[in-house]
Amino acid sequence: MPSEEFIRGMLYLSLTVVGVPANAAVILAFLLLLYQENRLLPADAIVLHLASVNLVVVGVRCLLEVLASFRLANIFGDVGCKAVIFVYRTSRSLSIWLTFVLSTYQCLSIAPPGSRWASVRTVVAHYLGFVFLFLWLVNTCMSSAAILFSFGTQNDSSLINHGINVQFCYVHFPSKLSKEANGAAQVGRDVVPMALMTLASLIILVFLYKHSQQVKGLRSSTSGGGGGSGGAERRAAKAVVALVTLYVVLYGVDNGLWVYTLTVRKTMKSSLISDLRIFFSSLYAALSPVVIIVSNRKVNDRLRCAVQEKPIQEKATSLSTM
């Protein structure tokens, strides 16, 4: 096995080892919460949906890349390439837009009760299912080009122009215009939510700064302390800002490399640029659940209970058999 393929396989293996268990743990925590309370808050439903999509990103793209890099399975024929690239692009873009929805909803959550923005938050929460459906439909349609233009690796001279080398697959566009149009649509699909969620995060940061100043003023005039649900909202807001920061950094690199790929006239013989793009975008899907586990108290509590209940049940079983 060439050293380049080995390094490539190990990098994707690291993402798989981190991303699959972490996203599965977040999903398990919220399913336990749903079972115990028979409902999920809108923010929890968004995070559950985000973790599910991220699990698909890591499982479909990274795990299959590991199998192919170590030559454990031959997946990337014409049909395999079309399926993997389509599912990856759809789930990747859903991950982006769900992060935007989460940051927007959290921004609306800090609005004062009775304000116009608080009523907008109520409407968003009520129609959240339709928001999910709309995002699925739009992103599925925008990823349909992968079904038309993706092929298995082949040494065909017709693939020299207007193509993108993705190691085990080629994305071959019929013309320069179609390649640039598809590339511009993907960049716009990423940049629009990036700009909007950055704005939402800035609003959250301004709110947190003003609130900290108010707390300092209250502490200087009285000896009492504040807490309650506002503290939970501030923790959630900080977690969302952390997720958005992680997203902007990693997907910013991804989109920069994608724009460079579009400027290259001929298909690159090396898949290095495409590998870096996929690695950085998949890195968000692998690391974001870690941020959620660390910062979300509900996830922490459910996972801790699940871990503690297991030895108790084993002990009870052993005592009953004595």
CATH number at residue 46: 1.20.1070.10
Edge-first strand order for the sheet with 150-152 is 150-152, 169-172, 163-165
How confident is the model over 189-204, as pLDDT tens digits?
888 888 888 888 888 8
Residue 104 resides in a domain: yes
Per-residue confidence (pLDDT) for residue 56, from 0 to 100: 94
Rounded CA Rg of the chain: 23
Predicted TM-score (pTM) of this structure? 0.82
Query: 157 pLDDT exceeds 50?
Result: no
Tokens of 2: 């060439």
Residue 295 resides in a domain: yes
* Host domain of residue 128: 3-153+160-216+232-307
Residue 49 resides in a domain: yes
Q: Which range scores top for mean pLDDT: 64-73, 156-165, 233-242?
A: 64-73
pLDDT band of 322, cuts 50, 70, 90: low
Residue 224 resides in a domain: no
Query: 226 pLDDT exceeds 50?
Result: no
Centroid of chain to Cα 100: 10
pLDDT band of 317, cuts 50, 70, 90: low
Tokens of 137: 């439909």
Q: What is the DSSP string of 43-103?
A: HHHHHHHHHHHHHHIIIIIIHHHHHHHTTS----SHHHHHHHHHHHHHHHHHHHHHHHHHH
Residue 317 resides in a domain: no
* Residue type at 243 in one-letter notation: L
3 state DSSP class of 288: helix
Residue 226 resides in a domain: no
How confident is the model over 69-88, as pLDDT tens digits?
888 877 778 888 888 889 98
Average pLDDT over residues 232-243: 71
In Å, what is the CA distance from 259 to each residue of 8, 41, 183, 247? 22, 38, 8, 18
Helices (H), 222-296: 229-263, 272-295
Residue 316 resides in a domain: no
Q: What is the overall mean pLDDT for the chain? A: 79
When divided into structural domains, the chain yields a total of 1
